Structure 1
Amino acid sequence: MNILPDPYAESVDPSVQCTTCEAVCCRLTVVLMPEDHVPAWLVARDEYGMETLAKGEDGWCAAVNPNTSGCTIYEDRPTICRKYAMGSPSCRDERHKWFGATIPTAVPVL
């Protein structure tokens, strides 16, 4: 198996933490690719007929456990979720859109 280097690795901001983000990425529309194999109950169709990850009534991804905010299909998550790395440029851009100028940062635990 050939593993290619992550082209975004150098641009990841290590100060960005999912625990201080309110899971902004879990509110985005996730279009499924042909190679994605998610459970049928998590598949929805958007207004254009594209297969997407289903969302709950609250607008959150239906694969997110509401008690832990963790992904219930993490090992089999869609391609787009795998490419959406914590602290990547895409992540930081969405956080900026969501929070504006006040993006939360991690608070050290004493």
Structure 2
Amino acid sequence: MTISVKNLLDPEVKCSNCQACCCSSEVIIISDTGVPEQHIYVDMYGSESMLRLDDGWCSALDRDTLLCSIYENRPWVCREFGMGTSECISERTEKM
């Protein structure tokens, strides 16, 4: 029996009602996707992650629209994080 990924998604979660919960998670940069330097945090060991501001959210998140301001250059972790997947629902539940 094959289960479609579509059947695993929560149809109630859409871009229009997204609360950008995943944008407050730590995002390690593991490959070069063109993330602008001003959005990269480099720790004392040289590891790179997305910079988070004092409010805890990613610096690339537009606070007015809750959309990614560097969408075309977002890290691979963000590209792989699917809207409405179990990971998405888990983040939304945890942050609410």
Q: Shorter-chain-normalised TM-score: which range?
A: 0.7 to 0.9
Shift of 1:45: 2.5
CA distance in 1, matches of 2:9, 2:82: 8
Gaps of 5+ in 2: none
For structure 1, which runs of at least 5 residues remain unmatched after alignment? Answer: 1-6, 100-110
| Other structure's SS at 2:62 match | coil
1:83 is matched with: 80
Number of residue equivalences: 93
Which residue number in structure 2 is paired with residue 41 of structure 1?
38
Provide TM-score, normalisation by structure 1: 0.72
* Identity level (%): 37
Matched, 1:66 2:63: yes
- Of Structure 1 and Structure 2, which has the larger fraction of its residues in helix? 2
Segments of 4+ moved more than 6 angstroms: none
Q: Which amino acid aligns with 2:76?
A: T
Structure number having the greater strand percentage: 2
Larger radius of gyration: 1
Moved more, 29-38 or 83-92: 29-38
